[in-house]
Amino acid sequence: MSPTVDYSSWSPASTSSESNSGSPVHPASLVDPMSHSSAILQLVDVQLTSSVIDYIVECIADAVWHGLTRDLHHPSHIAPRTASLPIDEFTPFVRSVLSLAEVRPATVFVALAYVARARRHLAIISPAWALERIFLGALIAASKYTQDSTLRNGQWARCSGVFGRRDVGRIEREFLEVLDWDLGVREEEILVHWGAVMGLQDLELASVDASRIGIQSA
């Protein structure tokens, strides 16, 4: 059984000066594509657009909120999640890390599977840096599990822009403890995101088509 890890509040230290490098391997290339469901192949090839990033943020925020309120007898008496968590500051952080670390969609969805699994074990005292720590911990674990070559902790620190190398090591270790070091992922843990993400993709395509029609009509 996974331990419940107490995420006490702490602030990031200085950032690392190590360079960002590495040659990630697409996880789908490690297995015969015929063994994957078509839905999985669709997910690993989605673009990390603004709406998909918003969805990632929502998944992380849900887990952090659960960790903050799990021991409260009357959670309805506290401020709404949107008022308690710094979502506006967290969203650019997610976008920046994904871009600088050149994270593949497959890695993102494995990270979200880890977050969903860790959700019931999280005990968070303060929201300070909680969003960033959960996101980064899950992303690093997913990257190391799905790729033959991944960034070192100092490089993740530089991509974060706020955490130092030792901070990143602690973030990774605490998140792995929450998972009880079980990094295996079942296909259904990934597919739970298929409906929402494909829906977002369809909305974006419809919006683009509508814009083109408007331009042609003008």
Q: Between these two residues, 9 and 83, which has the higher pLDDT value?
A: 83
For residue 79, the enclosing domain spans 36-217
- The mean pLDDT of 73-77, rounded to a whole number, is 49
Q: What CATH number does residue 160 fall under?
A: 1.10.472.10
Q: Is residue 43 part of a domain?
A: yes
Q: For residues 192 and 82, what is the distance between their CA atoms, to the nearest angstrom?
A: 24
Does the pLDDT value for residue 198 go beyond 70? yes
Q: Which of 34-48, 110-124, 190-204 bottoms out in mean pLDDT, i.e. has the lowest?
A: 34-48
State which H helix or E strand residue 210 sits in: helix 194-217
Phi, psi of 122 (to 5 degrees): -75, 135
Domain count, the chain: 1
Q: Is residue 96 part of a domain?
A: yes
Q: Is residue 199 part of a domain?
A: yes
Phi, psi of 107 (to 5 degrees): -65, -40
pLDDT cut 70: percent of the chain above it: 70
Q: Is residue 47 part of a domain?
A: yes
- The mean pLDDT of 36-40, rounded to a whole number, is 74
pLDDT digits (tens, 9 = 90+) for 111-128: 999 999 999 899 888 888
Q: Is residue 154 part of a domain?
A: yes
Q: Is residue 25 part of a domain?
A: no
Helix, strand and coil content of the chain, in percent to the nearest 5, comes to 65, 5, 35
Q: Is residue 107 part of a domain?
A: yes
- The mean pLDDT of 69-96, rounded to a whole number, is 73
According to the model, what pLDDT value does residue 26 have? 42
**CB neighbour burial string for 72-95, b if at least 16 within 10 angstroms, e if fewer:** eeeeeeeeebeeebebeebbebbb
Q: Is residue 12 part of a domain?
A: no
Considering 43-52, 53-62, 187-196, the range whose residues carry the highest mean pLDDT is 53-62
